[in-house]
Amino acid sequence: MTKVRMLMFAAIAVIVAFGVGGYPALAAAPQFHRSVIGHVPAQVSPDTTGPTIFQLVTNFGALAPIDGSGNYEWPCLTGDPINYPDCSSMPAGGLVIGLPTYTVSLANCLDPNVACIGGEEVVEDDNPSTTKDFNWGLRITQGDAVILDTGMLNFGPNMPNTIQFIGGNLYVGPGNCATGTCVAPVAGKATATTYTWVGTSVAVGHATLNFQ
């Protein structure tokens, strides 16, 4: 999977403002990949004043095992033989992801340079723009403390009327904040919040993790 540049983002209501320059290097840059996994009928008259990005799945769990060729067993989806070579036999519209879990291992997540959680997200993109970019970000908090903040990940031009998948392995703890300061996770609940946006249309997803 291709590493993507980390930028700072801030989501305010349904409008996202973002800046450039001066971003700290992350301890271990998460590797996220975006793929189109399906298509939906184009809207006859897109309502550009209302929501045009829709949250479908926000999933976190154990890291995927690696097959004999060094590829992750999941996520697995059709249409992307470079990033998902094990999926060529799947029919169009198929998606295999890891079992979602509420409880994750705290011990596995204490080294900020080692990935310890897998994450997947699926959204429907009905935004009609072909000139604006498709952006995504993830922030995980425990109370007021932040243990991961990817900043804004720019995945390039928007692709309207598609079902899109974003997935990758997560590193948490010190050094893994694109903006601000990350701390090590502790036992207890954490809240993962995802932001997907094109222009001013934003979809927000939530999931709860329990470090034990």
Reported pTM? 0.82
The DSSP result for 152-199, as a single string, is BEEEEE--SSEEEEEEEEE--STT-BSSS------SEEEEEEEEEEET
Longest Cα–Cα distance of the chain, Å, equals 51
Interval 102-138: pLDDT, tens: 999 999 999 999 999 999 999 999 999 999 999 999 9
Look at residue 186 and tell me whether its pLDDT is greater than 90. Answer: yes
Q: What is the pLDDT of residue 101?
A: 92
Single-letter residue type at 123: V
Cβ–Cβ < 8 Å for 183, 147: yes
What's the pLDDT band for 179 if we cut at 50, 70, 90? confident
Interval 77-107: pLDDT, tens: 876 677 677 777 777 778 888 889 999 999 9
Report the Cα 192 to chain-centroid distance in Å. Answer: 10
| In the chain, domain spans | 9-20+29-41+50-65+99-211
Which superfamily, per CATH, for 9-20+29-41+50-65+99-211? Immunoglobulins (2.60.40.10)
Interval 23-69: pLDDT, tens: 344 555 456 788 888 889 887 655 556 789 999 999 998 888 888 88
Q: What is the pLDDT of residue 202?
A: 94
Cβ–Cβ < 8 Å for 163, 140: no
